Amino acid sequence: MFPTTIAGSLPKPPWLAESGKLWAAWRPAGAELEAAKLDATLVAIKLQEDAGIDIVTDGEQSRQHFVHGFLEAVNGIDFTKRVEMGIRNDRYKAMVPTVTGPLSLKGRVHACEARFARAHTRKKLKFTLPGPMTIVDTIADGYYGDRIKMALAFADVLNHEARALAADGVDVIQFDEPAFNVYMDAATDWGIEALHRATAGLTCTTAIHICYGYGIPANVEWKATLGAAWRQYERVFPALAKSRIGQISLECRNSKVPIELLKLLDGKDVLIGVIDVATETIETPEEVAAVIGKALPYVPRERIIPCTNCGMAPMRRNIAAAKLMALGAGARLARERFG
């Protein structure tokens, strides 16, 4: 009961990239970089196992960014043609590459780190990929001329890698779609269709992660404008409940999401964010268990998976490690309290 997992990313060690920073440049290069990425992956797995996390990830140690780490292996994208673009409905600006031709994979994207992670843990393994809608919100279009067409093209590319990851022994494939909390009408109109295309043919567990973003200033400031009740999930949860996606990952800890919205996910496993990634305050096991307890009236206990609110990539490593320990300890306390 209450198996634990994380949203995906963990901070990178300082010998791999600058800590506490998104888009941090790699410190090593060449063959040394590739070895360092795998070393960091092993550390990330160990940190999770020591904390009692039941479904571990590679910590996204081999990617500079959760979207662009995938895009680097896609034909049809020009990384030298960067333009400044508003991300998440202009919440913040970023210099992004441009789609200049038809999309296809150059080859495998994450085979090395996925197989390495699989070989070094007996735990269930989750691997994260960017969702199609979030990708098109994080790249410039100089070819398709239509966001939906481009999203479906990305969905086909994602599906090739997802099928290969499942063959590598990955137990859960999660698509990260923070854009679903920004473009709610588009999410239900075509975003879920694109997800179905990305997950076509998968026999492993599928998941979608929808959050309010990393704990960076732009996201924290945006949350302050959302009022006393954050009801974005209310717009997409009914459609997701009818979808073929097996698990839904969402933000609960220190958020203003009305907890009763969880009942809209009837029939799905719910990854409940019990760890706040926007603060360095370490949760206590009691606080983690309390969030789980609040969800119990709305989600069957066998479908609750305690998780982090979002990725922890920008966080200081010692803080992230302590929060992992709190997650594991809080879930154990919840099993005692609610079992």
- pLDDT one-digit tens code per residue, 141-178: 999 999 999 999 999 999 999 999 999 999 999 999 99
Burial of 106 (0-12, 13-18, 19+ CB in 10 A): exposed
Q: Which residue has the tokens 């999770």?
A: 48
Residue 23 CB partners (closer than 8 Å, separation 6+): 64, 65
Give me the DSSP letters along 60-114. TTT-SSTTHHHHTTEEEEEEEEEEEEEETTTTEEEEEEEEEEEEEESS-SSHHHH
Burial of 317 (0-12, 13-18, 19+ CB in 10 A): middle
Residue 319 CB partners (closer than 8 Å, separation 6+): 280, 282
- Give the closest residue to 320 by CA, choosing from 284, 287, 277, 271: 277
Residue-averaged pLDDT of the chain: 94
- Give the closest residue to 299 by CA, choosing from 329, 334, 327, 325: 334
> pLDDT band at 33, cuts 50/70/90?
very high
Q: Can you read off the two tokens belonging to residue 160?
A: 């090739």
Q: How far is CA 22 from the centre of its chain?
A: 14
Rg of the chain on CA atoms, in Å: 19
Residues 23, 25, 31, 32, CA torsion sign: negative
- Runs of H (alpha helix) within 224-284: 232-241
Q: Return the amino acid letter for 31.
A: A
> Per residue in 187-208, is it b (16+ CB within 10 Å) or e — as a string?
bbebbbbbbebbbeebebbbbb
> pLDDT band at 48, cuts 50/70/90?
very high
219 vs 183, higher pLDDT: 183
Percent of the chain with pLDDT over 70: 99
> pLDDT band at 215, cuts 50/70/90?
low
Residues 126, 132, 138, 140, CA torsion sign: positive
Q: Supply φ then ψ for residue 44, to 5 degrees.
A: -60, -45
Q: How far is CA 222 from the centre of its chain?
A: 19
As a dihedral over the C-alpha atoms of residue 152, residue 155, residue 157, residue 163, rounded to 10 degrees, the angle is: -150
Q: Which residue has the tokens 């694109």?
A: 194
> pLDDT band at 108, cuts 50/70/90?
very high
> Are 192 and 208 spatial neighbours (Cβ–Cβ below 8 Å)?
no
Say what the pLDDT of residue 313 is.
93
Q: Can you read off the two tokens belonging to residue 83?
A: 């333009």
Say what the pLDDT of residue 144 is.
98
Burial of 178 (0-12, 13-18, 19+ CB in 10 A): buried
Q: How far apart are CA 303 and CA 156, in angstroms?
A: 29
Tell me the mean pLDDT in the region 97-125.
97
